[in-house]
Amino acid sequence: MRVSVFGAGYVGLVTATCLASVGHSVICVDVDRRRIAELSRGEPGFYEPNLRDLMSMCLDDGSLCFSSSPEHAVRNSLVHIVAVGTPSQPDGSADVSQVLAVGNTIGKHLTKFGVVVVKSTVPVGTNERVESAIADGLQEREELVPFAVASNPEFLREGKAVEDFLRPDRVVVGARHKRAFNILEEMYRPITSVHGDFLRMSIRSAELAKYACNSMLATRVSFMNEFAELADTVGADILDVARVMGSDRRIGPHFLNAGVGFGGSCFPKDLKATIHLASSVGRSMSILSSVCQVNDFQHLTLIERAASLLGDLSGKRIAIWGLSFKPETDDIREAPSVSVIRQLLMQGASVKAHDPKVKWLPLLSSMDQSSFSIHEDKLEAVEGSDVLMLITEWNEYRDVDLGVVTALMRTPIVLDGRNVWRDVKHSGRPYTYFGVGRGESLTQHVLPREMVG
């Protein structure tokens, strides 16, 4: 099947590459000519496991190509997938202007029946606006060309996006026309014949389902973080509490990890958009508002802990391990690390950071960076520091020898923001360790949890 994908960002590129890999002929369109040149050389422009290799394979066999010409893409495709950004506006609403602009562009070049698929995360009712935008594009040419619009939200996890696309739990499609359902079911058949169900529903249900899924996952994170605060206060261990909860089949084990909170391009943005959507129709989302408040507070818990141990943080040296909002990605959008670093610098501390993939923080460009640096070597980042804060649970941090690490520090304090390490009896130089929701401090050695018998 001939498919065009509009938008060569994270979702668009993964979608285009994965569809090409299962036998479709895909044209990926972006207005940025430099981006197109980069992609045509096989360079994704961001880190995502397995994407570069899969992309190179599809470029080599001709199933995937990149273009800056929407006319060429539209006229040579049956399915047109819209995968452009919907950033938050100051009031929390989603900015769908790029989505509508692509719809209008498709209408300007449509010459035969096509299915326009909105994969971008959009508020309920946006697909109807896309339909109008396409019709406006056709009207400019005084053409009458049949088309159908469908909602096909993405459920990709950064760091596992290729796997999620090719081995989905489900494929969700909302449409009004049987022909659109049938075409998209055929497009996804190489995938859904092996993994996941193809779920048909109304367009508005599909639009809302995406927001509901992300809202539920974010709620679980903040729920566990609130319980972690309670566990700290009453002397319980949130890891044991989570183990009990996760063994209950009604709850399940996923998203029960307490930590420094969530970030990324989806959860914060989608929660704000959902709250705004509800407000616009006279409804309130009190639970989601609380989820956001808990998350904002959680970003700063390690700083409060450091201040309680060291007093004034001015002049203190803080080491940060992990900058991306989660492991296996270089994405720093809404990352907890950014909030932590900003606050530390504002309080007069100096920060030395390490991350396996993130090598610079443009979000800090407006601040004085003379007190901030990123190091290639994680031990170099720790040397001479007063506190080590683990923010992102990259695997390479799990198996470090904390005895070696703390021996390099001026003050041996470890604040484990993701509960990567468990405690065991110590030998050698003691150090102070705090996890999240672990009860009392442990002035002893700790080991990665998988190394504890």
Sign of dihedral through CA atoms 300, 306, 309, 315? negative
Joined tokens for residue 185: 């079911």
Joined tokens for residue 246: 């996760």
Catalogue the E-assigned strands of 94-202.
114-118, 147-151, 170-175, 197-201
Query: Which residue, 127, 134, 282, is CA-closest to 204?
Result: 127
Torsion of Cα atoms, 215 then 218 then 220 then 222, to 10°: -130
Whose tokens are 């202007």? That residue is 97
- As a whole number of Å, the end-to-end CA separation of the chain is 53
Task: Single out the catalytic residue among 28, 58, 65, 266.
Answer: 266
Query: Which residue, 101, 22, 102, 92, is CA-closest to 63?
Result: 22
- DSSP letters spanning 265-295: SSHHHHHHHHHHHHHHTT---HHHHHHHHHH
Query: Which residue, 114, 118, 124, is CA-closest to 74?
Result: 114
Whose tokens are 């893409």? That residue is 73
Side-chain half-sphere of 260: how many Cα atoms within 13 Å? 37
Cβ neighbours of residue 90 closer than 8 Å, sequence gap 6 or more: none
Q: Can 266 be counted among the known catalytic residues?
A: yes
Quote the CA–CA distance of 210 and 253 in Å, as a whole number.
21
The 197-201 sheet, strands edge to edge: 64-67, 25-29, 2-6, 79-82, 114-118, 147-151, 170-175, 197-201
Quote the CA–CA distance of 107 and 11 in Å, as a whole number.
22
Q: Give the single-character DSSP code of 259.
A: S
∠ Cα 110 101 62 (to 5°):
55
H helix count then E strand count, the chain = 17, 17
Joined tokens for residue 424: 């065991």
Which residues carry out catalysis?
Answer: 266
